[in-house]
C-alpha cells in the first residue's frame, strides 16, 4: 500500500519506481487522502486505488507494507488531510512501514542525511524488492 495526500507526487514517484524495478509481479494499492492524490498514483501504475479515511483504515489492516511520507503517521498533517483515524490505522497496522523522512510539517527527524527524493525512492524500492522476495 502506498499512501499519500495533497498532490500525490511522492506516492506517484514511489509507485513508478516500484513498477519499473519489480514489474507487474507486485500488487500496488494506491490510498490517497484525497481523489487527486489517488488519481495521480493510479496513473503512475498502481493496480487499485481508493480515497479517504475508511479506505485507509480498512486497507491498512491487510497489507504487507505501508509506504509513504512521514506525515502518514501523524494526525492532522498534510494541511489536515491525514485524520486522527488514518494516522492511528497506519501506526497500528501489523504491516511493515517504510517511511520517507520528508514532511512539510513542523517536525524534524534528526540523525538522517538530507537526501533528495529520487535517492530516497531508490532506497525504498531496493528495500521493498528485498523484503518482497522474502514474504
pLDDT tens digits, one per residue of 75-123: 999 999 999 999 999 999 999 999 998 877 788 888 888 888 899 999 9
Q: Quick check: pTM over 0.85?
A: yes
Q: Please tell me the distance from the alpha carbon of residue 85 to that of residue 68, in angstroms, as a whole number.
A: 16
Rounded to 10°, the helix 35-43/9-22 angle is 20
Please report the domains of the chain, with CATH numbers, ordered by start residue: 2-128 (3.40.50)
Check residue 41 and give its pLDDT: 98
Report pLDDT for 105.
79
Cα-atom radius of gyration of the chain, to the nearest Å? 13
Note the pLDDT tens digit of each residue in 16-53. Answer: 999 999 999 899 999 999 999 999 999 999 999 999 99
Write down the pLDDT at residue 61: 97
Residues facing residue 49 across a β-bridge: 30
| Cβ-based burial of 114 (10 A; exposed 0-12, middle 13-18, buried ≥19) | exposed
pLDDT value of position 107: 87
Q: What is the pLDDT at residue 114?
A: 82
CB of 8 closer than 8 Å to CB of 39: yes
Amino acid at each position: 500500500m502506498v499512501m499519500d495526500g495533497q498532490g500525490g507526487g511522492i506516492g506517484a514517484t514511489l509507485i513508478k519506481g516500484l513498477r519499473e524495478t519489480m514489474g507487474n509481479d507486485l500488487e500496488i494499492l494506491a490510498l490517497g487522502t484525497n481523489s487527486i492524490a489517488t488519481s495521480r498514483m493510479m496513473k503512475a501504475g498502481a493496480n487499485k486505488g481508493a480515497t479517504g479515511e475508511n479506505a485507509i483504515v480498512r486497507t491498512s489492516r491487510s497489507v504487507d507494507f505501508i509506504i509513504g511520507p512521514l506525515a502518514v503517521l501523524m494526525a492532522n498533517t498534510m494541511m489536515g488531510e491525514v485524520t486522527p483515524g488514518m494516522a492511528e490505522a497506519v501506526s497500528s497496522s501489523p504491516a511493515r512501514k517504510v517511511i520517507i523522512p520528508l514532511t512539510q510539517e513542523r517536525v524534524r527527524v534528526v540523525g538522517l542525511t538530507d537526501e533528495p527524493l529520487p535517492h530516497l525512492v531508490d532506497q525504498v524500492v531496493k528495500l521493498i524488492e528485498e523484503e518482497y522476495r522474502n514474504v
